[in-house]
Amino acid sequence: MRLACIIALSQASCFEKPEPPSTGVVAYAGALVGTTSLDTFTINPARGGDALVFHFSCSAVAEPMLALTSSRMMITKLGSAGQPLFWAASFVAIAPDTQSTIVNVSASSSCIDGMITILGDDFTGNDPRGGSDTFDAHAEAAGDGPCGAHVITQHDRDAVWAGCTVSGVLAGPGAGYTLGAADTSGNGAEYKLTADAAGSDEAIVFDSNNMFVITAVTIKPR
């Protein structure tokens, strides 16, 4: 661990700062956002080159237009899925640096007010090239029952991340997964830092039994 210090008004405070992970290992760097608002939000990446993953859902009768944009980085939509009243899309980006970055949120008017979920998490130790070089597999699904999906990893030791919006409240992450970002309405994200070989079928499941929509992404290590 490294010791980092903040000096302000003649007072110094120090805290331990994690070392970047070694090559070939993805690590969780922290939650970026968990909101139910259509307003812009600000993220603070841990490191330049980090992998940023987002789940954006809204309640609408038909599939809505969902978009996340930023003037400081390219945010890419990977895919979407849903069913009446539950729709979501997965978005990814590479952090340009550690500066605070504003993300703009937009959705079609069919989205019901107050029925928005945006979840985002930050990972480090990833391949920093972006696109399919970093985010090498994804899945989106909707249904009624345990919130879950499957992804097939494309590289050894891929990290697996997923966000889920449910009609009730998530009881927690699934077996083998760790809770990531969460909002105040019972929705959340989870992740697993695998040691599995490329081509592994990763089963993603949350502790839930409601109507759901899920987005999932794998993240390739350096």
Domain residue extents for the chain: 24-219
CB distance 132 to 204 below 8 Å? no
Distances (CA, A) of 2 to 11, 21, 125: 20, 13, 17
Read off the pTM.
Answer: 0.89
User: Phi, psi (5° rounding) for residue 64?
Assistant: -90, 170
CB distance 222 to 23 below 8 Å? yes
> In 3D, which of 63, 213, 58 has the Cα closest to residue 142?
213
- Is the model's pLDDT at 115 over the cut of 90? no
> In 3D, which of 87, 78, 112 has the Cα closest to residue 213?
87
CA dist 134 and 125 (Å) reads: 11
CA dist 129 and 1 (Å) reads: 27
- Is the model's pLDDT at 5 over the cut of 60? no
* Confidence band, pLDDT 50/70/90 cuts, at residue 44: very high
DSSP-derived secondary structure letter, 65: P
Q: Where are the alpha helices (DSSP H) in 43-130?
A: none
For the chain, first and last CA: distance in Å? 21
Q: pLDDT tens digit string along 162-181?
A: 999 999 999 999 999 999 99
CA dist 194 and 211 (Å) reads: 28
Q: What is the pLDDT of residue 127?
A: 97
Structure tokens at 149: 């999906």
* Confidence band, pLDDT 50/70/90 cuts, at residue 12: very low
Q: Where are the alpha helices (DSSP H) in the chain?
A: 131-134
CB distance 48 to 95 below 8 Å? yes
